[in-house]
Amino acid sequence: MRAHRSWAEPWKIKMVEPIRMTTPEERNAAIAEAGYNTFLLRADDVYIDLLTDSGTSAMSDRQWAALMIGDEAYAGASSFYRLVDAVRDVYGYQELVPTHQGRGAEHILSQILIEPGDVVPGNMYFTTTRFHQEHAGGRFVDVIVDEAHDPYSLHPFKGNVDLDKLAAVVDTYGAERIPYVSVETNVNMAGGQPVSLANLRDVYDFCSSRGILVMLDATRALENAHFIKERERGYESWTIAEILHEITRWSDGATVSSKKDNLVNIGGFLALRDPELARRARELLVAFEGLHTYGGMSGRDMEALAAGIREMVATDDHVRARIGQVAYLGDALLKMGVPIVQPVGGHGVFIDAAAVLDHLDQDVFPAQALTAEIYREGGVRGMERGIVSAGRDPVSGDHRRPRLELVRLAIPRRVYTQSHMDVVAESVAAVAERRHEIGGLRMTYEPESLRFFQARFEPLAS
Ligand SMILES: Cc1ncc(COP(=O)(O)O)c(C=O)c1O
């Protein structure tokens, strides 16, 4: 029998940033001061930071070098044209509307396409995406497959759109009330779960025959491409670059937060096929983001982004190593008996807080409480993805009650080592072991929108 052969990341480390372990007393004080919300912690008080994979990647030496050739001309910078070329080559969209980050692109797209009273079907909500759809007067309707709401379903494409649900929405509201269908790749709130190419093609065929646009949230399309290569028959021998092109082919445009797949710390874009839609987007862009040749980015940001876009597809090993590290953490947690969303997704491991803290009602915010406890245990920072993130229904004012009540441990790209992942798994397992000692929380401050970012809590008296 051939011995198992390990594989490793296709890079080595050239520069390091020291991190500091705190004492339990320091962490108790820090989390209380942060109102039991890990978004309100100071980064200096965090040992291993898995709050988000957004804007937290390590850039390569090539990207740092690219910063130096950033063209800071107000209009028509050469860096912008290099970015246009990179997006055309890698994503296949001709029209580029640069923005400061993903939500800037979501804002512009929602404003140009949504009229008050419109309905936007999508494969599970994302916080900022739905906010901008509602802000423009629209209403989001979830059309993801049922398996996405089941943390233990092993469906290989839990991000897929359920075409029957989509057809029912079109029947109920009429195609004229649906400006576009919003399809997210590697669905964040479902645990980083992919959409299949067959499903993307079916959705596009369904929509285009009814005059409905398909807009991707292609923020994590690269990671989605990896899962297609691994799981969808017929694509095993395709390169990641080829699969990415095939993903975007079945769409009319995309919003992208470049802080994820694209390996930069800030940036984003709206990409479109229709020049007339792009013209309308640029009209708004100059008011909200910046001139149409920089959006919200500096020349050096655009230069590093263009380099990052090309780098992410230069070798298939990059995304394989990235997702391999996420799978490593997921496997470690499973071996330690911690319930997590399966299959493990692309950008992080999602702990089933409802199962770990099954003695707590959803009204006392189990995922928020577990997130705070994981920080207290080992200085590991994750994020709540449950009832707090879901917010309130704008009409009834009641909490939305998502079926998934999760703690997300999102892994920055090219930042932490396998030993860091071991420490994370051990910390989480230690918390899970003493789960019956963990109580719920009460919300003491609730922002009106996107409350999870700044809400404050206190422990309920036990
Ligand atoms: C799927 C998805 N869409 C949009 C966004 C928003 O992007 P940004 O944070 O760059 O505004 C995010 C960020 O986390 C995301 O995960």
pLDDT digit string, tens, across residues 65-75: 999 999 999 99
Question: Is the per-residue pLDDT at 7 higher than 90?
Answer: no
pLDDT digit string, tens, across residues 133-155: 999 999 999 999 999 999 999 99
The count of other CB atoms within 10 Å of the CB of residue 93 is 24
Find out whether the beta carbon of 128 lies less than 6 Å from any atom of ligand 1.
yes
Residues 6+ apart with CB under 8 A from 230: none
Find out whether the beta carbon of 53 lies less than 6 Å from any atom of ligand 1.
no
Phi-psi region of 392 (alpha: psi -120 to 50; beta: other; left: phi over 0): beta
The count of other CB atoms within 10 Å of the CB of residue 217 is 26
Find out whether the beta carbon of 257 lies less than 6 Å from any atom of ligand 1.
yes
Mean pLDDT of 376-381: 98
The separation between the first and the last C-alpha atoms of the chain, rounded to the nearest angstrom, is 57
pLDDT digit string, tens, across residues 204-216: 999 999 999 999 9
pLDDT at res. 1: 64
Among 50, 53, 182, 257, name the best residue to mutate to test ligand 1's pocket (greatest count of ligand atoms within 8 A of Cβ).
Answer: 257
Among 57, 120, 135, 188, name the best residue to mutate to test ligand 1's pocket (greatest count of ligand atoms within 8 A of Cβ).
Answer: 188
**d(C-alpha 84, C-alpha 306), whole Å:** 8
Closest to 321 in 3D by CA, of 418, 409, 197, 187: 418
Q: Ligand 1: which residue has its CA nearest to atom 9?
A: 102
Find out whether the beta carbon of 101 lies less than 6 Å from any atom of ligand 1.
yes
From the CA of 258, give the closest atom in ligand 1.
10
CA of 128 to the centre of ligand 1 (A): 7
Active-site amino acid positions: 74, 126-127, 217, 260, 385, 452
Find out whether the beta carbon of 268 lies less than 6 Å from any atom of ligand 1.
yes
Q: Ligand 1: which residue has its CA nearest to atom 16?
A: 188
pLDDT digit string, tens, across residues 333-375: 999 999 999 999 999 999 999 999 999 999 999 999 999 999 9
Helix (H, G, I), strand (E, B) or coil at 457: strand
The structure's pTM equals: 0.95
Find out whether the beta carbon of 184 lies less than 6 Å from any atom of ligand 1.
yes
Mean pLDDT of 425-434: 98
pLDDT at res. 462: 67
pLDDT at res. 394: 86
CA of 453 to the centre of ligand 1 (A): 13
CA dihedral 192→195→197→200, nearest 10 degrees, is -130
